[in-house]
Amino acid sequence: MPARITILLTLILASSVVSALYPAGEPRCAFCGVDLCAAEQHQDACPFLEKQAQQKPAQQTMNGKSTEKLGGGLHKTNSIVKQHANLEIDKIEDIITSYCDNLLSRLEHKRYTLGATLYDEPECHDDGFVVVCGADGYYSIWNDNAKHWQFSEPQGSTFIKMILYNARAACVQRWLQGKWCIVDLAPRGKYQSAYKNDIIVNYEYDNVKCVAKGSPIAVGKYHKRDMRWGLVTRVEGSDRWAHTVDDTWSDMDILPIGDKSFAIAHSEGYVTLFNTYGKRITNQGFARIIPLAQVDGKIYFVVDDNGKLGMMAEDGTMTAECRYEDFKIDTEGIKVLSNNSWIPYQPTK
């Protein structure tokens, strides 16, 4: 039996053994997810892309010979056919070898993660879900309630960053292109079967801002050369999260204040205030919105309208018109600067 066929059969047998140990469905690249049986093009930045690119010129050259130099007779034609058959065997060997290597790398990743120390940082565990980093540098999420990994292969072995301030809105950055996604880990309860995650926003975001547990999450992606920001927030009256503010803002600041959170959206030199559920509080744009004080459980902000300052409650009610020079708080309460004199603040009636 020719050595090539022996190697090929050995690889097929090895693939069957590994598949039996670790069922993975259709063979797919562990890095970019393409179907290996279909010999699809590997995605950008995939480590197998370079190897695949090196194979293409050889095949094109062979095809060139078969069309340009077939006039020399039957012997030459048979030679070309044999070379083409050898090329196809090489291609199949590469596919099966890559498949075996990928399966083994996934098993290695599981070995690494199973032996890793669970993270104990604020952004790395919530409601029984725990972020784990393996010795290979990739991240996974372990569902300690149901005792299983939360993401399926091969994607589950190619995450380079995870933020888990809330199990219902986990920020996940994958290796391919460094894009962020936000997923609900427990859409049907924390004891659900493995791999049942709901996508809140898909892998298309270039940046996220997670500031505090339960606060809105700012999500940003490039629109041409400019980053555009939106919000993923809790849904009022529910523990679900949703993409509540469209990605139309030039920047987004998250403000956790006590047990409440707000977001300040920027656009063309003006800012707008959103509450913790993504509801827009201010209809007009202000030059600045600055937290001032919390009185009787309600947050008050100083707002700047063309250089004149006023005060606004957290629900958008203006409690002081925009006609003052400054605000401050001292032992006597809130004071305003008017005509270069500090006077006690009088709520707008």
Parse the chain into domains and list their residue ranges.
3-113
Q: How confident is the model at residue 266 (pLDDT cuts 50, 70, 90)?
A: very high
> Among 116, 92, 115, 112, which Cα is nearest to 104's?
112
> 3-state DSSP call for residue 325?
coil
d(CA 117, CA 125): 13
Confidence of residue 23 (pLDDT cuts 50, 70, 90): very low
Q: What is the pTM of this model?
A: 0.66
* Structure tokens that stand for 38 in this block: 């279909």
Q: Which residue has the higher pLDDT, 107 or 299?
A: 299
* Partners of 227 in the β-ladder: 222
Distance CA 333, CA 291 (A): 15
91-149 tens-digit pLDDT: 666 666 665 555 555 555 555 555 555 555 667 888 888 888 776 778 888 888 887 78
For 91, the 3-state DSSP assignment is helix
Per-chain mean pLDDT for the chain: 75
pLDDT number for residue 28? 54
Residue pair 254/211 in contact (Cβ under 8 Å)? The answer is yes
Residues above pLDDT 90, as percent of the chain? 34
- Answer with the residue of higher pLDDT: 58 or 170: 170
Give 187-239 pLDDT, tens digit per residue.
887 776 666 788 999 999 999 999 988 899 999 999 888 999 999 999 999 98
Rounded to 5 degrees, φ, ψ at 84 are -65, -40
DSSP state of 229: E
> How many whole angstroms separate alpha carbon 132 and alpha carbon 109?
11
Q: How far is CA 117 from CA 114, 120, 131, 135, in A?
A: 8, 9, 10, 10
pLDDT of residue 322: 92
Share of the chain above pLDDT 70, in %: 62
First to last CA, the chain: 97
Phi, psi values for residue 55, rounded to 5°: -80, -30
pLDDT one-digit tens code per residue, 277-296: 999 999 888 999 999 888 88
Is the confidence at residue 253, as pLDDT, over 50? Answer: yes
In this predicted model, what pLDDT tens digit does every residue of 39-74 receive, in sequence order?
Answer: 556 666 565 554 444 433 333 333 333 333 333 443
In 3D, which of 283, 288, 326, 318 has the Cα closest to residue 306? 288
Q: Phi and psi (nearest 5°) for 83?
A: -65, -40
pLDDT given for residue 230 in this prediction: 98
pLDDT at residue 180, as a whole number: 95
Question: What number of H helices and E strands is found in the chain?
Answer: 3, 22
